[in-house]
Amino acid sequence: MTTEAFSTTPDCEIVSSRIVDASQELVFYAWTDPNHLKNWWGPAGFTNTFNEFDFRPGGKWSFVMHGPGKGNYPNECEFLKIEKPTLIAWKRISKPLFHVVFTFEAITSEKTKIVFRMIFDTPEECNKLKPFVVDKNEENFDRLEKELIKMAL
């Protein structure tokens, strides 16, 4: 599978990015080690219970996100492509359906640019989530940065 398999049009994707103060290897590790990922994945106030985390192409990621007020949100994903330390791609098996592509670009030895692309089949599906997800993705990045600081200590 090539990265072209993840091509789309701007009206079918939500793109978030951030430059963090951590090495590319550390950032990739924060995404790929479930002991770290569970600490920061999701918007502010959310916690996670991981049922399965089989980090390989074809492997499954099954987890429940627990909202801060109430609500449990089951998630089922399948990893499609992993290129250490530059790319992770998966597809959601649970609704809402979309693909996710994360890229990690080393800016310097201690700065990494993360690009988070959510790719939908139609503009309508994309537009259903766009009003909520952009801010929530920023909260996710905030939580990642806090985890990276802990990991670097």
Q: Are 28 and 55 a contacting pair, CB within 8 Å?
A: no
The model's pLDDT over 29-85, given as tens digits with 9 standing for 90+, comes to 999 999 999 999 999 999 999 999 999 999 999 999 999 988 999 999 999 999 999
Query: Which amino acid type is present at position 111?
Result: K
Please determine, for residue 2, whether its predicted confidence score (pLDDT) is greater than 50. no
Please determine, for residue 20, whether its predicted confidence score (pLDDT) is greater than 70. yes
| 37-60 burial code (b ≥16 CB/10 A, e <16) | bbbbbbbeebebeeeebebeeeeb
Distance CA 80, CA 77 (A): 9
Cβ neighbourhood burial of 131 (10 Å; 0-12, 13-18, 19+): exposed
Q: DSSP per residue over 115-133, as a string?
A: EEEEE-SSHHHHHHHHHHH
Q: Which CATH class is domain 10-44+79-152?
A: alpha beta
Model pTM score: 0.91
Distance CA 108, CA 21 (A): 9
Please determine, for residue 131, whether its predicted confidence score (pLDDT) is greater than 60. yes
The model's pLDDT over 34-50, given as tens digits with 9 standing for 90+, comes to 999 999 999 999 999 99
